[in-house]
A and B are shown apart, each in its own frame.
Chain A
């Protein structure tokens, strides 16, 4: 009883506000350091920094609404999103002007466009379909995107011959639009699941599996006696250190591995408790699991801070050749994104846990959400189709073959098949509601893998993206 009461208590909310505030302040601090390093005042980096501040502000306001239930926060959050979009547009325009081509040539530039599209679509969904709290899901994604951009190489690089094609721009524009639409359908499907009275503990399981997955991937870098491997950074050339083509050189940060292992155990705890309560068929353990999520967030924040402090500007021994090499956050953007993404996922869960009634009151009803999810996919699917076609046409002009079965192409085709499956099930089989929502969530998972996973895990022609 006492425990249940404590969870409703505003004091816990205050802790959350302080924690979120500190995390955001910390993220802004990293960004700020990068701005100071760049030197000039009115630049793309600063516009991007402004966008980050506004997006983070919007995200914080959405979360703040979640904690306090004050509806006026949402209006301000929407305003902050607008401001962020303006700054983001400035950054895109600046980039375009400086590079002389639309900003799609590198992962950095594509993230820039992706975040822009996501913010624009968020505002459209808010105005057009009255899905007011959609930013709670999309803004964290935007923030992670902008933070990643702060770390990735951002100087304008000349285009190698194969990339000088209008078809490439068409291809990537369509890809960004399609992926942003997929992201939106994911957010809407999640909201549908909330409105569809999906049990809160099921969300606990989902966010826990997500976080456990992240830390399991991170622990693949665990080395011997508690060390943690990160990619070495060549400060002069601003790039990773390569031993051979596509073989990166790793340095080992001592003891960081233990911390990651500890966090892994902490984030695995709620999942274990959930599974135990599922087997025992009672809810006694669930409040403990929720507590464990809270502790997990604290430990994840510690892991993030320690990771950033240890990685920044120090050099470590490499097990590959016994020499010391520096490393940098820019060499490990995906570990950082994973750490930040895990924290956000868990915070969203806490938001749901504490403010479910307010959310249910503010969201459109489940039928509407189901229909808008479907409509969003109706927009995403033709875009995906055209994206693949434009890519094939470009490949045909550049390499003499419209289809090479390289991993990125194959995964794009898989994404297309998954959404084609969704549409067929929906139109011919009348698939509605929860199954459809799970389908939409899974589809977005495939999109994310195509976008990030393929580039970093699988080899292929798409070396630039």
Chain B
């Protein structure tokens, strides 16, 4: 007995759409997510820290199973796809039923329905038309438009409110799928990287997370950057003035701060960091002729700039080292932090063709400070700053935000909007007395609805009363008989 393709598909569909499968999938997602928060994750954690935390064998195992980057492994993505499929299947499975509710409301209740409906009441009447008229007025009182349903064998009233609530759960599920779709689009087509700019420069190279470099078809120019601090020195604000230059033209510009990025063609530039480059911007000296007490002049130098000191003498800033160290007669930079700076100056006298190389501060054996015709007193040092920009392209994010808004709307309907239905049918009881059967149903929040229903029945009776005076003697007419058989 071979399984037909149809039966396999049917049973797959059935499994996929069952709530049990959904719960199992959710539990799996939870387990793997927990693993992802407990086990150190790859791109974020330093490789050294990983090596310290786990033994090599363990690390090998974790890497092989993808547990060191749970959220980006194929099988986690596959799991999310399965969850999506399960949501789709479950929704499709249940949709027709809900759609029937929605598209073809049950307006004319038959005997069977009337017997089992949990919330119902009987109100005695003398005349059908009079009773239905009173019921219609009661409907108007609670702001529900009622309609008269005429069937060959029956004759009744129907009124309802918020039918859309039956569809709400599908809105929520659709919104979740929209969010997933956005996430998948971003996982496939989105990218993230980092670029560093110094004021006055432009660039289009982005250093990607995986170490590769991406070139943008336009470039970003930095027109200035800075930091504002609180009085205690903690940073208050980082800002950068950015301009987008496309084919030589400035097409967009903005001063960005943290939490407020520049967006151009779907690519976002975020203020991520700010700092000093360790490169010299400019340095100012008080310069006096050596050995003489002449008037001091103030000289400002930028890298490699040549500045005349007098008619014959020139000075050039040859080198700047932010954190210097001397080894074997050479000067090296230890780091890019400006903690121990040194400058290399070259003073040239044109007439005597004399070139003096010297360092500030003086480094014995390397420089010839003593023979300089001028002495230099450093006064002010300005190093360059850079702005660090996080660059990201997330083409799917609009689907995500649309999904979030849709979900908020859907959840509001799911939890707070009740589909309430009322039926009014004139009936004759076993003794031949005329009465109105009134039934009500709500898809959630039954107890609150029960109160509303009682009020509605009381209103119907009130509308009946002026013409039905003897009702005052009849307790069953003033107290609506509301039965609430098993929920």
Contacts and interface: CB of A to CB of B under 8 A. Distances in A.
A276 interface: no
A465 to B, nearest CB: 16
A12 interface: no
Contact of A417 (B30, B37, B38, B238): B30
B258 interface: yes
Max chain B CB contacts within 10 Å: which of A386, A398, A429? A398
A421 B26 contact: yes
Interface in B429-472: 447
Contact of B37 (A159, A407, A421): A407
B238 A397 contact: no
A458 B397 CA distance: 28
Contact of B404 (A159, A389, A454): A389
B195 to A, nearest CB: 12
A396 B404 CA distance: 14
Contacts of B288: none
Contact of A410 (B33, B40, B411): B33
Contact of A161 (B183, B236, B407): B236
A169 B408 CA distance: 19
Interface stretch (B216-224, B308-316, B386-394): B386-394
A421 B23 contact: yes
Interface in B392-431: 392, 394, 397, 400-401, 404, 407-408, 411-412, 415
B131 interface: no
B239 to A, nearest CB: 9
A371 B487 CA distance: 13
Contacts of A157: 234
Contact of A389 (B238, B258, B408): B408
A381 interface: yes
Contacts of A159: 236
Contact of A382 (B40, B192, B411): B411
A418 B30 contact: yes
A398 B259 contact: yes
Interface string A288-322: 00000000000000000000000000000000000
A392 B270 CA distance: 16
Given A397-B260, A400-B270, A400-B392, A382 B37 contact: no
Contacts of B257: 161
B34 interface: yes
Given A371-B447, A401-B392, A411-B37, A429 B19 contact: yes
Contacts of B26: 417, 420-421
A211 to B, nearest CB: 24
Contact of B29 (A167, A392, A403, A417): A417
A10 B40 CA distance: 55
A40 B391 CA distance: 49
Contacts of A389: 404, 407-408
Interface in A131-168: 157-162, 164-165, 167
Given A162-B259, A402-B400, A410 B268 contact: no
Contacts of B404: 389, 392-393
A378 B234 contact: no
A158 B37 contact: no
A167 B33 CA distance: 26
A161 B238 contact: yes
Interface in B24-42: 26, 29-30, 33-34, 36-38, 40-41
A159 B270 CA distance: 18
A437 B284 CA distance: 74
Nearest to A377: B415
B22 interface: yes
Interface residues of B, number: 49
A86 B458 CA distance: 43
A438 interface: no
Contact of A398 (B36, B235, B258): B258
A382 B40 CA distance: 31
Contact of B71 (A381, A399, A405, A421): A405
A410 B447 contact: no
Interface in A438-465: 454, 458-459
A170 interface: no
A418 B23 CA distance: 10
Contacts of A381: 411, 415
Contacts of A379: 415
A398 B258 CA distance: 6
Contact of A424 (B22, B232, B238, B392): B22
A48 to B, nearest CB: 24
B237 interface: yes
A428 interface: yes
Contacts of B408: 382, 385-386, 389
B36 A405 contact: yes
B361 interface: no
A79 interface: no
B37 A410 contact: yes
A162 B270 CA distance: 11
Contact of B38 (A401, A421, A458): A458
Contacts of A427: 169
Interface in A347-401: 371, 378-379, 381-382, 385-386, 389, 392-394, 396-401
B261 interface: yes
B473 to A, nearest CB: 36
Given A371-B447, A400-B192, A420-B26, A385 B411 contact: yes
A158 B235 CA distance: 9
Nearest to B444: A427
A428 B19 CA distance: 8
B91 to A, nearest CB: 12
B67 to A, nearest CB: 13
B230 interface: yes
Contacts of B70: 405
A161 B22 contact: no
Contacts of B29: 417
A382 B412 contact: yes
Max chain A CB contacts within 10 Å: which of B30, B236, B407? B30
Nearest to A368: B447
Contacts of A403: 183
Interface in B69-90: 70-71
Contacts of B33: 410-411, 413-414
B404 to A, nearest CB: 4
A280 B237 CA distance: 67
Nearest to A428: B19
Contact of B258 (A164, A401, A411, A454): A164
Contacts of B236: 158-159, 161
Contact of B259 (A164, A401, A410): A164
Contacts of B447: 371
Contacts of A406: 44
A454 B183 CA distance: 24
Given A382-B412, A385-B408, A389-B408, A400 B37 contact: no
Nearest to B236: A158
A286 to B, nearest CB: 34
Contacts of A162: 258-259
A418 B235 CA distance: 39
B234 to A, nearest CB: 5
Contacts of B268: 400
Contacts of B259: 161-162, 164-165, 167, 394, 397-398
24 contacts: A157-B234, A158-B230, A158-B232, A158-B236, A159-B236, A160-B235, A161-B271, A164-B237, A165-B259, A371-B447, A382-B415, A385-B407, A393-B401, A398-B259, A399-B390, A400-B192, A405-B70, A407-B37, A410-B33, A410-B36, A413-B33, A417-B26, A420-B26, A459-B40
Given A406-B44, A411-B37, 18 more contacts: A158-B236, A159-B236, A161-B235, A161-B238, A161-B271, A164-B237, A381-B415, A389-B404, A399-B272, A400-B391, A405-B41, A405-B70, A405-B71, A410-B71, A411-B33, A414-B30, A421-B26, A424-B22
Instruction: Sort A-B residue pairs by CB-CB distance and give the 8 closest, nearest first.
Output: A161-B258, A407-B37, A400-B392, A158-B230, A405-B71, A389-B404, A400-B270, A382-B411
